[in-house]
Structure 1
Amino acid sequence: MSMPLLEIAANSLGSALAAQDGGADRIELCENLGEGGCTPSYGTLARTRDCMRIPLYVLIRPRPGDFYYDEFERDVMLRDIEVCARLGCDGVVIGALDTDGHVDMATCRELVVVAGFMGITFHRAIDAARDPAQALEAAITLGCHRVLTSGASTTALEGADAIASMVQQAEHRIRVMAGAGLNAGNVREVAARTQAREFHASAKAVRVSAMRHRNAQLAGLDSNWQQTDRDAVRALRRALDTPGTPPPQ
């Protein structure tokens, strides 16, 4: 039986390469992870696609903030999905809600249609929905292949019981991927408590700038940045592959 699947949220080409080298099974490419992630640039998409030997999914989110989108934002998302298809990406990560917190079926159907044969993950808009169980059914109706969820909690560990309920509700109709705050120290507990088959983490660490010259007057402009750490990915991979970790559904 296959081992649990590890997806890494990579905020750059460098992060994607580190994740691949560390043993990730799939990449979710994005930018602006500090605000939940947004769609990466064309250049990042194209170069990352060239470098990946593992499946590449792309986050389709035009801005941070809520998941209610106007007509201009919807058009941006549709065009971004078209770019992903032209570049040969393996999947996209989508989601939209209406102002009452229900899944925006009309918008999501448009996104799914344009995605065509690419894989589709419904992202953590499900955690912001008024009724996550109802939102899960909506994702199934839309034909999504998986949902990414923290169980409507800050972390997947805190939301483990809710994720377990979603796994039971899914009944093999859709995959439930646990994510948010996962690391090598807690992923096995989350796996055991949720019985999820897929796990999502950023495994990031601070990259220290090589700049010798820094302008100390530029308050708020930090020379260092966050990037996926290969060793952190390897530690997650080892934890998931350790005997006793629940196998996929």
Structure 2
Amino acid sequence: MQVVIQPDAEAIASLVADEIERLLRQRPETVLGLATGSSPLAIYDELVRRYEAGRISFARSRAFMLDEYVGLPADHPERYRNVIEREIAGRVDFAPGAVQGPDGNAEDIPAACEQYEAAIAEAGGVDLQILGIGSDGHIAFNEPGSSLASRTRIKTLTSQTRRDNARFFDGDVDAVPHHCLTQGLATIMSARHLVLVATGAGKAEAVHHLVEGPVSAMWPATVMQHHPRATVLLDAAAASRLQLGDYYREVFANKPAWQGL
């Protein structure tokens, strides 16, 4: 696992956008994994700037979303398909239908989850998966206690996650759905490169467990320690609980330029 500590979200976004630009130039059919929440927003803004400047195109690429609420109306602004459309998909040149998400309004939820897994496999898997982390260590909506071998499925959100997400629902925790569809931890681990972004002191404890703690279903993100190519990008506040913070800074400062992110 590579840990990269940067001054702020904009510096992090630039590094991630550099890697995505490199992938798109090498292989325009690159498959991206898109996350919602606050963590990836600066990345999306930077990608849009590069697209508008003519540096990159998504016209031949595909993307898969991590998760989706169950039961939100199709036109609800916080339905994750609409959030992704608003924050990135509708601002660049993805082809129609190139961005897919799990169907949180499907009549047959288990079948919809199996179909989503099949769609990712049919696309050849995800090349680069963007991730955030919850204050309780969840990634996507894999809450504490999630199976490390899990695949796309329905999950019940914890009270903590619903409180954390209430800010997107005008502060009304009762408006946050109780259920979601989420890629499982094993699904996420199948991506070729995991890129997790965390900023702010509120993520410091979860980041400490992710990077330096034991692998445990109680801190689901720790499964990333078993991934052959996982990159964790942090600001100083999110990195404040790391025992080896100075070493991580030294490693990145002396990293061979040819390695990229």
Common fold: TM-score over 0.5: no
Higher relative contact order, structure no. (Cα contacts within 8 Å, ≥ 6 residues apart): 2
Q: Could you state the TM-score of these two structures normalised by the residue count of structure 1?
A: 0.38
Q: Could you state the TM-score of these two structures normalised by the residue count of structure 2?
A: 0.37
